[in-house]
Copies of this chain bind each other. A is one copy, B any other.
Amino acid sequence: MTTLNAKKVNFEIERNIAILNIQTLNELKIKHSANIKVKSDSGEIMCEVLSTDTLIEPGFIGLKEKSIEDLKITENTKISVFIRRRPQSLEYVKNKRGGSVWKEGEIRSIVNDICSGQYTELEISMFTLAQYYLGLNMDEIANLTTFMAEYGTTLDFEEPVYDKHSIGGIPGNKVSLIIVPTVAAAGLLIPKTSSRAITSPSGTADTMEVLCDVNFSADEILEIAPKVRGMLVWGGTLDLSPLDEIVIHQIEQPLGIDPHSQMLASIFSKKVSTGVNHMVLDIPTGEGTKMPTKDDAINYAHEATELGRRLGISIEAALSYGEQPLGKAVGPALEAREALEVINGNGPTSVFEKSAELSGILFEMAGLAQPGQGAHLAADFILKGKTKAKMEEIIGVQGGNATVNPEDIVIGDKVATVVAPKDGYIVKLSNSNVKKIAKAAGAPRHKEAGVYLHKKIGDFCKKDDKLLTIYSNSEGRLTEALNISMNLQPFILEGMIIKRISSGTKI
């Protein structure tokens, strides 16, 4: 152990680094690239060592701002530096190789060691790739989920909590903004945490943020939600599942992987953390979704309900049609506007029906409707203005304009429209291409940006009918989005030639 003076360096990088003078390294008998444990009175982090002979004096340790915050120190605080030993729990990770099943206590050690910063990035990759290459059984997934939740913030409501979750994958899915007020209007508690967009043009939190604040602390949620019965907040600031954040940012995103067991544990750990007891699980299915075949979706549904059973969460899974975007609006502001239209009784039928169906399942789970009758009841809530009244209340307590009208919502003033090249029925409308156009237009970062779809699959259009309109707040992004649209052709019209191949053309 050595004591050194903290010094802030102006570096930004995801991993923790400690910059030490070469002389300090010699004293510690370690080399650059080694990992050290850095400890203050109130925190401990692991750092990879960079050595220097000029930038940091002997006796000092250079740390990035985030590390100084994590250690809860200021510049020149004396902190201790230790040579790091490989955590014991890494042996459990390694044993996966011989086919070992991770025991409860082993998983707990692994989760705690990763979350408390005992693992290097490579060691975290060893843990994540064990799951990727070898998979986990259901016991292991349940334990992983439990300990992931245990390490983070937990919200303890003293009554049953309802939730709706979608595995995502299709653009335009704004139903949470309708389901939450509908379910809350019936008196059920639905304090929904949601995510921001990762690869989509708008996450539920991004869409809701158009209408009001979505950043609330655990204490605020525990105070507000039981009174209003529903909230729609961003889960990101709550630290519900610290391991999830680490694994996603340090390993899964850089490698472009999403191991199945980790994905389930990721979703469910946040449900456990927020005390969810009853959940409807939306599984968009079909070409262009995360579940291309019905079998995939059914397998997933069985797994999720089984995992829920082990964790004490009753789950009803609903396979939904996912081969085109949901509704007509894609992008935060456009989606928020469409959600309000549905709540006002004049939005697209598909969004209305899906919202009523999923809300209805929760009504049935709660015993508020007979089996098969929930959707009618939920539709009634929407049509009779109960959903609208509750949504206004939620927007109000979340600091927004409670009486906002759909047309008040600002959308991009740079506009371009794509029209049909010929008469015909729409036979395809690609999720991924619509996503790309909306993102090129600026979504989700620029909330006003997005795509409005004038036609959906099965619609007939005449030559020069509007197919889609792109909204942006930048001419450059609008042009880019339009170019992408021209290249990708998100709409396929019956009889349209998709690609011409003549002799000599490379297929």
Q: Tell me which residues across on chain B come within 8 A of A97, comparing CB atoms.
A: 132-133
Instruction: Identify which of B33, B53, B55 contacts A13 (C-beta below 8 A).
Output: B33
How many copies, total?
A: 2
Residue of B nearest to A251 (CB): B122
Instruction: Identify which of B54, B133, B251 contacts A133 (C-beta below 8 A).
Output: B133
How far does the Cβ of A138 sit from chain B's closest Cβ, in whole Å? 19
- Say yes or no: is A256 at the interface (Cβ < 8 Å to chain B): yes
How far does the Cβ of A262 sit from chain B's closest Cβ, in whole Å? 13
Q: Is the interface of A mostly helix, strand, loop or mixed?
A: mixed
How far does the Cβ of A101 sit from chain B's closest Cβ, in whole Å? 15
Interface size on A, residues (CB 8 A): 41
Residue of B nearest to A98 (CB): B133
Q: List A245-281 residues whose CB lies under 8 Å from chain B.
A: 251, 254-257
- Say yes or no: is A51 at the interface (Cβ < 8 Å to chain B): yes
How far does the Cβ of A30 sit from chain B's closest Cβ, in whole Å? 12
Residue of B nearest to A35 (CB): B254
Bound together, the chains give a CA A172 to CA B293 distance in angstroms of 62
Q: Are A255 and B13 in contact (CB under 8 A)?
A: no
How far does the Cβ of A123 sit from chain B's closest Cβ, in whole Å? 7
Instruction: Identify which of B12, B33, B126, B129 contacts A52 (C-beta below 8 A).
Output: B12
Bound together, the chains give a CA A448 to CA B85 distance in angstroms of 29
Residue of B nearest to A86 (CB): B256
Q: Are A94 and B13 in contact (CB under 8 A)?
A: no
Q: Are A55 and B126 in contact (CB under 8 A)?
A: no
- For this complex, 14 residue pairs linking A to B, each with C-beta atoms less than 8 Å apart, are A11-B50, A11-B51, A11-B55, A12-B50, A13-B32, A13-B33, A13-B51, A86-B256, A97-B132, A120-B254, A122-B254, A125-B126, A125-B129, A129-B130
